[in-house]
Amino acid sequence: MSIPAALMTGPTVLEPVVGKTDEMIVNLGPQHPATHGVLQIVLGVDGERVTRAVPHIGFLHRNHEKIEESRSYAQVIPYLDRMDYVSGLQNELPYCLAVEDLAGLEVPERAKYIRTAMFEFNRIISHLVWVGTYMLDLGAITPFLYAFRDREMALDIIERTTGGRMLPNYFTFGGVRRDVHPKFWQDLLDFLDYFEKVVPEYETLTVDAPVFQARSVGVGLLSQELAVNHGISGPNLRASGVAHDLRKDQPYDAYPELDFSVITRDEGDVWARSKVRMDEIYQSIDLIRQCAELAPRSGPYLARGRVKIEAGEQRYRAAEISRGQLGVYIHSDGGTGPYRSKHRSPSFVNLQIIPDLFIGQKFSDVIAILGSIDIVLGEVDR
């Protein structure tokens, strides 16, 4: 088999382990269903052990950052949805926060709560997609059907307010684009009442199931030191015992008023990462309930104002989306749009850990580890 030498270069290529069998090169992707997008990983395997792993990205590159340079500030927002299409609403927030800071717009109280509730709601949806597709990768079809049944109901609630399901284009500078549906809060609470009873079922089928535990406990260990050194964020980092959550550390919108604690686990394996996401679903339910209780029912939802940003001003804002820290850096040259807009996307950074996690593991654990990192390729390649 001849693999171009260029495919196998990179700092992560190790000397093949000397064993009884020859090293074999296996292409995982780019059309592998477990890569959730188009990701190619060139794996070297010696018997059952992975000896090298070189991820190749860029198949979904759509040039977001360059396109944004030629758009006005408001025109950028619909493009942000398309970065991480599983949690579209969450992608809009850091950019809006950065522009609000630069333009000096004050977000009304009610808009803050709407945004926070929507943000957390999107986290539930995103984790539902994760639990469904991850279990599908591991060979369990049932959780996928249940997760997408519930995701459908959740998307309906988002659609009733924003007009979009996955690509809503809803947040804007100084608040939200349009007022919420009259039954929005009631819909949310009704859904949560139903959903709260369903999450234990997911747990029975996933983190509590002996078959899943046999495949996940002690697999793909990510040490605290390695996670911090690689800049891992989100549930992956918290499953390694680092209590880092931007909702707590750099609170934005209504998070300062909400009462919650950062979920961490110490194990750092595939099971811990799954368990943290499960617990985060419960946490999001609780946070949305708090928002529904505290949110004012009338008042402005949008602070209208002109977005005029002086030349040379720059700002970096980040938010804790379901995959980790999504940061946006904006540099203005005084024009109508960003001179440079850079996205620090969590999936891209989390993907860098793959060679370290894969090498030395069993070949059949590769998919289990890849899925537990929860990457969305649209965001990796942008």
Partner 1 sequence: MNLITEAAKALRDIGKGMAVVSRAAEKGKHTNLYPFEMPEIPPVSCQSLALIIEADGTDRCVSCLACEKVCPSQVITIERTRNPEGKGFVLERFDIDLVNCMYCAACVEACPVSAIVTIQDFELSTYDLQTLKADKAFLDEQGRRAKQWYSPKLGVEYRNEQGEIQVAPLEQQPGGEAELLKQADKESDN
Among 66, 149, 304, 308, binds partner 1 (CB under 8 A): 149
What does the alpha-carbon distance between residue 126 and residue 321 come to, in Å, rounded to a whole number?
A: 9
Q: Report whether 88 contacts 122 (CB < 8 A).
A: yes
Nearer to partner 1, 67 or 221 (CB): 67
Q: Which is nearer to partner 1, 71 or 215 (CB)?
A: 71
Residue 299 found at the interface with partner 1 (CB under 8 A): yes
> How many residues interact with partner 1 (rule CB under 8 A)?
39
- Going residue by residue from 257 to 296, which x/- string records binding to partner 1, judged by CB under 8 A? ----------------------------------------
Please give the residues from 300 up to 319 whose contact with partner 1 meets the rule CB under 8 A.
Answer: 301
d(Cα 124, Cα 138) in Å, to the nearest integer?
21
Q: Are 57 and 41 in contact (CB under 8 A)?
A: no
Cα R_g (the chain), whole angstroms: 21
Contacts of 325 (CB under 8 A, 6+ apart): 233, 234, 246, 318, 319, 344, 346
| 24 belongs to the binding site for partner 1 (CB under 8 A) | no
Spatial CB neighbours of 42, under 8 Å, sequence gap ≥ 6: 3, 7, 8, 25, 26, 27, 28, 52, 53, 54, 56
98-106, 116-124, 146-154, 221-229 -> range binding partner 1 (CB under 8 A): 146-154
20 near partner 1, judged by CB under 8 A: no
Tokens representing 50 are 């992975």
Rounded distance between C-alpha atoms, residue 250 and residue 269, angstroms: 27
Going along 35-184, which residue ranges are E strands?
40-46, 49-56, 171-172, 175-176
Using rule CB under 8 A, residue 177 touches partner 1: yes
Bridge-partner residues for 341, per DSSP? 330
Determine, following the binding rule CB under 8 A, whether residue 190 of this chain makes contact with partner 1: no
Q: What is the 3-state secondary structure (H, E, C) of 105-138?
A: CCCCHHHHHHHHHHHHHHHHHHHHHHHHHHHHHH
Whether residue 294 contacts residue 345, with contact meaning beta carbons closer than 8 Å, is answered with no
Residue of the chain from 93, 99, 111, 180 that contacts partner 1 (CB under 8 A): 180
**Shortest Å, Cβ 253 to partner 1:** 19
Which residues, 116 to 145, sit near partner 1 by CB under 8 A?
142
Yes or no: say if 372 and 216 are a contact pair by the CB < 8 Å rule.
yes
**164 lies in the binding site for partner 1 (CB under 8 A):** yes
Site string for partner 1, 64-103 (x = CB under 8 A): -------x--xxxxxx--x---------------------
**Does 21 help bind partner 1 (rule: CB under 8 A)?**
no
Let me know how long the chain is. 382
Taking the complex as a whole, how short is the minimal distance between the CB of residue 366 and partner 1, in angstroms? 25
Of the residues 56, 181, 230, 344, which one makes contact with partner 1 according to CB under 8 A: 181
Residue 193 binds partner 1, judged by CB under 8 A: no
As measured in angstroms, the least distance from the Cβ of 337 to partner 1 is 10
Nearer to partner 1, 162 or 372 (CB): 162
Q: Which of 73, 95, 171, 184 binds partner 1 (CB under 8 A)?
A: 184
What is the enclosing helix (H) or strand (E) of 29?
A: none
Smaller CB separation from partner 1, 181 or 215: 181
Shortest Å distance, C-beta 319 to partner 1: 21
> Interface with partner 1 includes 10 (CB under 8 A)?
no
The residue range among 154-162, 279-287, 308-316, 339-347 that interacts with partner 1, by the rule CB under 8 A, is: 154-162
Helical axes 184-205 vs 142-162, angle rounded to 10° = 170
Minimum CB–partner distance for residue 15 and partner 1 (Å): 40
Dmax of the chain from CA atoms? Answer: 72
CA 172 – CA 162 distance, rounded (Å): 12
Chain positions contacting partner 1, by CB under 8 A = 71, 74-79, 82, 142, 146, 149, 152, 156, 159-164, 167, 169, 177-184, 201, 204-205, 208-210, 297-299, 301
